[in-house]
Structure 1
Amino acid sequence: MATYRSPFRTASLVLGTAVLALLSPTQAVALHQGLPAVTPVSETPALYDDEAGGNSDADDPAIWRNAAQPGRSLVIATAKEGGLRVYDLGARLVQSLPAPRPPAAEDAPGRYNNVDLVTGLRLSDGPADVAVVSDRGTDRLRIHRIDPAAPGGPLTDITDPAAAPVFSADQTEINEQRTAYGLATWQDRSTGRSYALVSQRERTRLALVELRPTPSGTVTYRKVRTLDLPASFRLPNGATWSPCAEPGELPQVEGMVVDPATGTLYAGQEDVGIWRLRADLTGKPVLVDKVREYGVPGVYDEATEECTAGADPGYGGERLSADVEGLTLLQEPGGDGYLLASSQGDDTFALYDREVSEDNEYEGGFRVTAATATLDGAQECDGAAVLDAPLGSRYPSGLLVVQDGDETPEAVDGEGGTRDATGFKFLDLGEVKEAADL
């Protein structure tokens, strides 16, 4: 049986950092030139990725709007081995749900990676809002019913116990951790059926998974079809390029979002760029934008577990630095809107036109910087969620939540070092739109 190996920093992010390091100070400043800065209103309590902190690592948020009382809406967020966290609009902890324990000591524990919402899923006792989570540790989806009046907390796990792994055949494959990774939900307006789009870790594969309520009130799922994005690319000079990675790894997808109006899926292949394709995984994918590191050769060093970048041939994009992460859709009430992406390599956010007819034209970007000495900005952002709707007096113009991969001020670990800390920043969407001139 394969034994679970805990994953750490990816070689692609290291390569992206190396490429940025090759820039002159003038070039580095130019990457941010013209991008406005926005400051957060509040932040969640820090999560610590150590034994004392329950191996909790902030990753991906989703915003649930309480239609009856918008000011009591919730932010649902993943904490990897730390499970799920639920926050109120003041960024205060409301509920904490643990990830599943490993079946055996040598097996992988539950590890909640990404989360998205389905509104009005048709359960056996009527429609309900649910949060769908990709459990990368067990290669399964977890479905949680959302009910703010529930006595045990707003989230209740209603996953069918018999739900099967998404990509793995058995526990041995699960322990290899090529498992359910990125996630986005989709409701097909033509059929009323609800789906999750799931990516596979260290592979280019995407799966379309239908959510299926059971008579007992739980929810299971079935895989409808899969699609593999490219792992190598033909460059204009005729050479074939693949992103540098550990041996056996392919360029994976994590950040994803579906435009419900058109059934269009946007998928962020971390060290390649943003793809646009049909949410039913038919048709031909289109590469909307590339990361700056696209086409840059790299050599993986097993001793350092890092990639050394070669000369940049100049085939990359201008807006994104690997990894591309945190895709979310800013849907404006009038029907317009923007695709928002986290450019993790340079700590910025990019905005693209939502209209496919406009070929998702780049519309600008912004940075999230410190508001005070104790309320810092967002660095190495993994996940983001936005809601352009009134949320009570606290966020009358809507809310943007972004993950912060380097929470400060630093906390000491008692051994002469500091603890790995992450969290989530809450931003007034009205201020973001004004700063980015949307």
Structure 2
Amino acid sequence: MKPSLIAIAITLALTTAAQAATIPGPTIPGPTTHAHELAALPNGNWLALDKTALRLLAADGTERAHLTVRAKHLDTRPLGNNTLAVIVDANAEQAVPILVDTAAGTLTAQAPFPAPAFGIETACLYRDAQQLDHLFLVAKDGQAEQWVINGEQRLPVRKLALPPHSKHCRADDTSHQLLISEEGAGLWAYNADAEGGPHREAVLLKKPYGTLEKGAGALFILPGGVAVLDAKGKQLHLLRHEAGKWSTVSATDTAIKGAEQLAVTTTADGKLQLAIGGEEAAGWQVRTPAWTATAPKADGKAIIMPRAQTEPVARTGDAADDPAIWRNASDPQGARILGTNKKQGLLVYNLQGKQLQLLEVGRLNNVDVRQDVKIGNRQLDVAVATQRDDNSVMVFTIDAQGTVATAGAFNTGLKNIYGMCLYRPADGGVEAFINDKDGTFLQYRIVADGDKVSGKLLRRFKVETQPEGCVADDRNHRLFLGEERRGVWTVSAKGDAPAKLDMIMPAGPQLVADVEGMGIYHGAKADYLVVSSQGDNSYLVMDAKAPYKVRGSFRVGYNLAAGIDGTSETDGLEVSSANFGGPYGNGMLVIQDGYKRLPDGPQNFKMVAWDDVARALKLD
């Protein structure tokens, strides 16, 4: 027998002859006889949680350290050469992080999480793709909270609604799923990543909808799957998660009365070992299941931190939509960010994200800006937006200080006006591409008769399904447009040219539908098209000239030091290569965030330094 199995048997302290017969090793009474939760640590060490203490045990079962506490819900993650553990103090109803130093043989309690407004029924850790540690706290009635650890800070991320009577949870860091055992129903998988919309799927339900007896009990994440006990601890189920689907690998009797917890470790030759037991089981048993699944590989997308964010919009739900950037010619840091609130109107922010103006002009959807353009007899800086209340196009002027004012509107005759973008042709005027949900595009020249603005229709073309985002490359007279479910097209931006559409990036693994906002960065050496890949909460960067080579993708993650969350389900974005000072000396990217976290709140816009994008993707 391998020493690791002897050590496990000693550490787990099996106490009955029937149990000893199933375990290749001795049974020795000790401090873990009544342990109700266990966690494997490096070099054969273990954490054991019993009624009176959390104990650090050596491979031979010797106690190396303990913290006197009445606690429950033990979970761990490696932390450099140490281990991060979290327990819930059952008296204070607070989650407490513990730093476990196996080399020194110490347990050090860290700053606790604030006590929630509910009793904690279960708790578990999650490490996201940015390698930040989160904690889920779940109440008996299904209330739940997600927190993130930042040194001594404990920051609220979001609130969740989970199944009632959920007594166990574990998070899979590779598939970014939160697995919840509902005692009377079964095992559910939720999205552990706070960025993005809520998602739930059934993993394994009780009879007659599945094979579980009475519901789900303790669970533990396996590479590429999960081990779960039924609610009574009678059967152990192993399930594989592959290609987005769950399948049962095996279901075996535990032969343990009162089994209520699981722990997992790996032998020196890479085999999984399952420890099954708990307080009511009067001991633990070790099993070595035949498990061949492997954890999915990370997609390798770079994660970039935002530098700033705007104040949230004044309406909840799906409100913020599309940003635009106005550059102050005399003061780089005096730029303005314009953003639409499609339940209210147009917002104007400074670079620090402070709201300076709100123009309550109705349900604006997309907005774009062009500066120093000729309309009638005047040179103007203008913003143009689509107005969904009456299917019109609204025109705004922007003065030298960045103050925005309404200038007029014109009707389009469209039934469901949606997206738009502006184009500055070679003669210095300004034109607008307007689209309808049915795929229709109208190209207008914006003209004026005195102070009255209107649109002169230049041409019309159509894609097969719903579009929204588009951007015009003024330098090269090209229009790029997104057909949400199909991909990115390009066409000449010239109003007198044939509207010959060419697909340059179909929706697929690199650009996951919906295809949404887009912008162009004009660099000194290259021009780049940035597109919102809404389906996987990422942003694709490709050359803005043929052959349209893909340069990479990135996500926007947390900036915990600044208290800013990442971005997800982005509708609109804008990018500029202008010098805006500070971190934005080589330009900036402004991104609509579909889910405001840290904590929950109405939607807003995030600001990203272009230098951070260029560095992450190794751009020229």
User: How do 1:3-82 and structure 2 match up within 5 A?
Assistant: 23=244, 33-47=299-313, 49-50=315-316, 57-82=319-344
Q: 1:120 aligns with which of 372, 378, 385?
A: 372
Q: Determine which structure has the larger strand proportion and give its number.
A: 2
1:69-101, Cα deviation, whole Å (9 max, x unpaired): 1110111111112201111011111111112xx
Aligned to 1:207: 442
Aligned to 2:614: 433
1:203-227, Cα deviation, whole Å (9 max, x unpaired): 0111111100221x23211222210
Identify unmatched segments of 5+ residues in structure 1. 1-12, 100-109, 169-177, 232-250, 293-317, 412-418
**1:333 shift after superposition:** 3.2
Query: In structure 2, how many angstroms separate the alpha carbons of the residues matched to 1:351 and 1:27?
Result: 31
1:367-404, Cα deviation, whole Å (9 max, x unpaired): 10111183100010111111112112352221111010
**1:48 shift after superposition:** 5.1
Does 2:516 correspond to 1:325? yes
- Aligned-residue sequence identity (percent) comes to 28
Aligned to 1:159: 408
**1:121 shift after superposition:** 2.4
**1:437 shift after superposition:** 1.1
Aligned to 2:142: none
Question: What letter is aligned with 2:566?
Answer: G
Aligned to 2:466: 252
Does 2:407 correspond to 1:193? no
Question: What letter is aligned with 2:413?
Answer: F
Aligned to 2:541: 351
Does 2:543 correspond to 1:360? no
Query: In structure 1, how many angstroms separate the alpha carbons of the residues matched to 2:306 and 2:449?
Result: 41
Query: In structure 1, how many angstroms separate the alpha carbons of the residues matched to 2:471 and 2:295?
Result: 30
Aligned to 2:565: 376
- 3-state SS, counterpart of residue 591 of structure 2: strand
Does 2:386 correspond to 1:134? yes
Aligned to 2:460: 226
**1:24 shift after superposition:** 5.8
Question: What letter is aligned with 2:301?
Answer: L
Contact 2:367 2:384 in 1 (8 A): yes
Aligned to 2:586: 397
Query: In structure 2, how many angstroms separate the alpha carbons of the residues matched to 1:27 and 1:268?
Result: 36
Q: 1:394 to 1:351 in 2, by over 3 A?
A: closer
1:323-376, Cα deviation, whole Å (9 max, x unpaired): 011110011134x211000000100100111112xx211111111011118310
Query: In structure 2, how many angstroms separate the alpha carbons of the residues matched to 1:223 and 1:37?
Result: 42
Contact 1:89 1:394 in 2 (8 A): no
Q: 1:179 to 1:27 in 2, by over 3 A?
A: farther
Where relative contact order (Cα < 8 A, 6+ residues apart) is larger, the structure is 1
Question: What letter is aligned with 1:221?
Answer: G
Contact 2:375 2:446 in 1 (8 A): no
TM-score, normalised relative to structure 1: 0.71
Identify unmatched segments of 5+ residues in structure 2. 1-195, 202-241, 247-292
Find the structure with the greater CA-based Rg.
2
Contact 2:591 2:606 in 1 (8 A): yes
- 3-state SS, counterpart of residue 560 of structure 2: coil
Contact 1:333 1:388 in 2 (8 A): no
Q: 1:188 to 1:125 in 2, by over 3 A?
A: closer
User: How do 1:95-114 and structure 2 match up within 5 A?
Assistant: 95-99=357-361, 110-114=362-366
Q: RMSD value over aligned CA atoms?
A: 2.7
Aligned to 1:303: none
Aligned to 1:146: 398
Query: In structure 2, how many angstroms separate the alpha carbons of the residues matched to 1:347 and 1:184?
Result: 22
Query: In structure 2, how many angstroms separate the alpha carbons of the residues matched to 1:330 and 1:385?
Result: 9
Query: In structure 2, how many angstroms separate the alpha carbons of the residues matched to 1:362 and 1:35?
Result: 13
Contact 2:571 2:594 in 1 (8 A): yes
**1:124 shift after superposition:** 5.0
Contact 2:537 2:555 in 1 (8 A): yes
Question: What letter is aligned with 2:587?
Answer: G
Q: 2:476 aligns with which of 252, 262, 269?
A: 262
Query: In structure 2, how many angstroms separate the alpha carbons of the residues matched to 1:22 and 1:58?
Result: 33
Contact 1:211 1:220 in 2 (8 A): yes
Aligned to 1:424: 605
Query: In structure 2, how many angstroms separate the alpha carbons of the residues matched to 1:364 and 1:354?
Result: 13
Query: In structure 2, how many angstroms separate the alpha carbons of the residues matched to 1:410 and 1:71?
Result: 28
Q: 1:182 aligns with which of 391, 404, 419?
A: 419
1:43-91, Cα deviation, whole Å (9 max, x unpaired): 11122544xxxx7711111111111111101111111122011110111
Does 2:577 correspond to 1:388? yes
Query: In structure 1, how many angstroms separate the alpha carbons of the residues matched to 2:296 and 2:377?
Result: 56
Query: In structure 1, how many angstroms separate the alpha carbons of the residues matched to 2:560 and 2:350?
Result: 21
Query: In structure 2, how many angstroms separate the alpha carbons of the residues matched to 1:97 and 1:394?
Result: 29
Aligned length: 335
Contact 1:123 1:214 in 2 (8 A): no
- 3-state SS, counterpart of residue 356 of structure 2: strand
Query: In structure 1, how many angstroms separate the alpha carbons of the residues matched to 2:318 and 2:542?
Result: 32
Contact 2:371 2:381 in 1 (8 A): yes
Query: In structure 1, how many angstroms separate the alpha carbons of the residues matched to 2:442 and 2:599?
Result: 39
Question: What letter is aligned with 1:83?
Answer: G
Q: 1:118 to 1:389 in 2, by over 3 A?
A: closer
- 3-state SS, counterpart of residue 212 of structure 1: strand
**1:136 shift after superposition:** 1.9
Aligned to 1:235: none
**1:423 shift after superposition:** 0.7
Aligned to 1:174: none
**1:17 shift after superposition:** 11
Query: In structure 2, how many angstroms separate the alpha carbons of the residues matched to 1:67 and 1:43?
Result: 23
In the TM superposition, structure 1's runs of 4+ consecutive aligned residues that sit over 6 Å from their partners are 25-28
Query: In structure 2, how many angstroms separate the alpha carbons of the residues matched to 1:71 and 1:111?
Result: 29
